[in-house]
Amino acid sequence: MITLDRCWRLFDARDQVLGRLAARAASLLLGKHKPYAMAHVNPLPGDGVIIINARHVGLTGKKLDQKVYRHHTGYPGGLKAEIARSLLARQPERVMELAIKRMLPPGPRRRQIIRELLRIYPDENHPFPPEQVVPMGIVWRRIGELGRADATNQKRFQEQIEHEWDRMVFLASPARVRDILEAEYSGSGGAGDDPHPDGPPIENQRSVFT
């Protein structure tokens, strides 16, 4: 039963802040949004996470040129270092994977979560059928000009959280998520009952039930 309620959450990383997107993905992978998620009962209680457009993720400030990724080959003098800009251009999936991996508890369970529940793609193409995924909204803040996080759409983001995120976390399947959200939005009636009279919660945001 616990395994059957798993669904795949789809995030578009274009212009998203790397750390904030990784934090939200890590929370979903660990099943923090499920009250019955217990690691000693089910080591993989969370939902699957699909991230597309990984090559277009953003880093704030000067992190593109100042953040350094290091690893050691195990041989003498084998310390390798690479700045974020170079790694993002060469292997964008690795940048996102490392950000999410370092937000998960270390150990065999972390490796299992990354292997079985996380899928990262550099572009928009992914092999999952539309009926199998739940498109998620943007994470709070986008990358604006000069690498600065744009905080101008806070009100719309809060509305999106109320109408998408909180209603998804306890639901069992992508189909049920789409049905409930579709009924909620289609039953809003006239303009007076519209919860977003100024437009959708996030401009140019893909619908969560189509």
Q: Is residue 209 part of a domain?
A: no
For residue 33, the model assigns a pLDDT of 81
Whether pTM > 0.85 for this model: the answer is no
Q: Is the pLDDT of residue 130 over 80?
A: yes
Residues 6, 81: Cα–Cα separation, whole Å? 38
How many other C-beta atoms are found inside a 10 Å radius of the C-beta of residue 161? 14
Number of domains in the chain: 1
State the residue range of the domain holding 171.
8-193
Q: What is the mean pLDDT of residues 187-203?
A: 45
Highest mean predicted confidence (pLDDT) among 42-46, 86-90, 169-173: 86-90
**Would you say residue 32 lies in a domain?**
yes
The answer to whether residue 91 is domain-embedded is yes
Please give the pLDDT value at position 141: 59
Which pLDDT band, with edges at 50, 70 and 90, does 91 fall under?
Answer: very high
Residue 183: phi, psi to the nearest 5?
Answer: -65, -35
Q: What is the pLDDT of residue 89?
A: 92
Looking at residue 173, its pLDDT comes to: 54
Which residues, in sequence order, are CB contacts of 178 under 8 Å at separation 6+? 134, 208, 209, 210
Q: Give CA separation, 150 vs 60, 86, 101, 105, in Å.
A: 10, 24, 26, 30
Cβ 63 vs Cβ 39: under 8 Å:
no
- pLDDT at position 158, please? 59
Give the helix ranges, DSSP H, for 75-173: 84-90, 92-101, 108-117, 154-160, 166-168
Q: Name the pLDDT band for 163 (thresholds 50, 70, 90).
A: low
Q: What is the pLDDT of residue 193?
A: 47
User: Which uninterrupted H or E stretch holds 80?
Assistant: strand 79-83
**Domain annotation covers residue 131:** yes
Return the higher-pLDDT residue of 150 and 128: 128
**Quick check: is 203 in a domain?**
no
CATH of the domain at 12: 3.90.1180.10
* Tokens representing residue 31 in the block: 């099943």
CA 11 – CA 43 distance, rounded (Å):
23
